[in-house]
Copies of this chain bind each other. A is one copy, B any other.
Amino acid sequence: ACSRPLPFLFTRRRLHQPYNSLTESDVQIFSEILGHNPSLLLQASDPIVHAASTDWTGHYWQAPARLLLRPQTTAQISALLAHCHQRRLPVVPQGGKTGLVGGSVPTVAHEEIILQLQYLNQITALDPVLGIVTCQAGVVLENLQDYCANHSWLVPLDLGAKGTCQIGGNLATNAEGPYFRKYGCLAGNVLGLEVVLADGRILDYNYRLSNNMKDNTGYKWHQLFLGSEGTLGIITGVTLACAPLPRSKQAAFVACSSYDQVLLVLQKAKQYLGEILAAMEFMDAAIWKLVEASGRHQMPLSVETILSESAVQEGGPFFLLIDTHGSNANHDQEKWQTFLEAVQDDILNGVLAQDIKQYQSFWQIRESANPTVAQLGYTYKYDVSLPIAQFQDWIQEMRLERLGPLARNESSSLVNANWGHILDGNLHFNVTTIGKREVQKDVLDALEPYLFHSILKRGGSISAEHGLGQAKNHLLPSVHDEHTLDLMRSLKALLDPRMILNPGKFLPAK
């Protein structure tokens, strides 16, 4: 019995004082690792650090981080983490900061060092036969898309934040977006990964040496890092399979008077557009009107006109952006024609983009949904999966049961506007309090936790693509059973035993 008490005490001490505070000597060591380059190590007083301490939503802000590091190489990241690990200093990895669940910024409790990936921005190889691209994690998604497009390849991922988000951030959040069904998810397209573990070890899975489409040698551990939101390791590089660049792109907006019609159009789009159907995006009347009101877009259809001409279901008219990617423009146009004929009785109106410029402007309308509501006020954002047939029914449930009473009190400063990747059963449900910048307890209480429970009751997912961060991590125990939670904790303990990587995010506090 002589040695028993020791480990027990040790464990208790750890639990109470898990992290150390940053000292001057730590800063010196970091500075040395970064070659004493002042632009790579910034302190709290720097406005850049201020900006880096809150995220795209502006919902998560405590105080400027004490330190921001901007390594330029994987080796530097390895050395920085080895020191943080040894000293028990917490770190938050930061990509483009467009994540919507507060994953990329410091939390109250932990005083994290921000580690930015933006200088790891090299595209290192592109295999012309297989379309396999290798690049570093800090490459901005749109830059990667442009580079690959110049070589006739399509990055199999696209999202509204493409101009700012980084491929490393996309991997860390397992981002999905509108083309999920056509080009597959990251899990299927990521062939290799380079990761720095919490203790500084550099792991390489088919990153540096290999660009093979198929390889079955060993456990696919790299998959664990997809969607792990910086809690298991820092992603520093990726090998990604691209798709051939489509030679013909077409898109249309159609308006439907009822949600049943939306479902019919969806069904017929799959049938008549077949293999060229690339994306199908849903927007309800509320988000359409807000985007229209922003005055920044040439809208192909008008809610007012539709309402003056037709009777529509509550929440309608409903808009669908339908997008096709193909290799033969004639064939694609013929498919469109048969499709549009087949749905003519199911839609109120429809506009086919006349050229690639209008095609792009249609997408800009859809992509402006997020920024539009964000500008108007504090937005309660919910990214859920739901059986497709239930979208509108569930939205109505939320409106009647939860928002209805509230909205009257708030004298209508509250708007519920919704959109989403309907092809995948993925809905973005948004409540904005116009003109208000802070979270309001009564609105929050009206929404949560009711919303999550009603999603789970319908067999949906409480986070379809945005992840958990610090916004939804407390919900994990209502999603998964104890065995799965245990396994998740074990994986965390295995890869980051001192819990220095992104504390307070993803996994719920015990």
Contacts and interface: CB of A to CB of B under 8 A. Distances in A.
A461 B215 contact: yes
Nearest to A181: B213
Interface stretch (A16-24, A83-91, A352-360, A488-496): A488-496
A210 B459 contact: yes
A424 B241 CA distance: 11
A144 B83 CA distance: 52
A488 B476 CA distance: 26
Contact of A130 (B219, B334, B425, B484): B425
A8 to B, nearest CB: 14
Contacts of A244: 270, 274
A102 B460 CA distance: 41
Interface centre among A210, A223, A228, A388, by most chain B C-beta atoms within 10 angstroms, is: A223
B215 A220 contact: no
Interface in A270-316: 270-276
A174 interface: yes
How often does this chain occur in the complex, in copies?
2
B220 A387 contact: no
A interface bracket (residues with beta carbon within 8 Å of B):
35 or more
Given A3-B3, A187-B187, A335-B328, A216 B463 contact: yes
A224 interface: yes
A387 to B, nearest CB: 7
A227 interface: yes
A215 B102 CA distance: 18
A272 B326 CA distance: 11
A462 B212 CA distance: 11
A274 B464 contact: no
A9 interface: no
A188 interface: yes
Nearest to A424: B213
Interface stretch (A51-59, A196-204, A435-443): A196-204
A97 interface: no
B227 A224 contact: no
Contacts of A188: 184-185, 187-189
A463 B180 contact: no
Given A216-B463, A216-B468, 5 more contacts: A2-B3, A212-B425, A219-B227, A328-B334, A328-B335
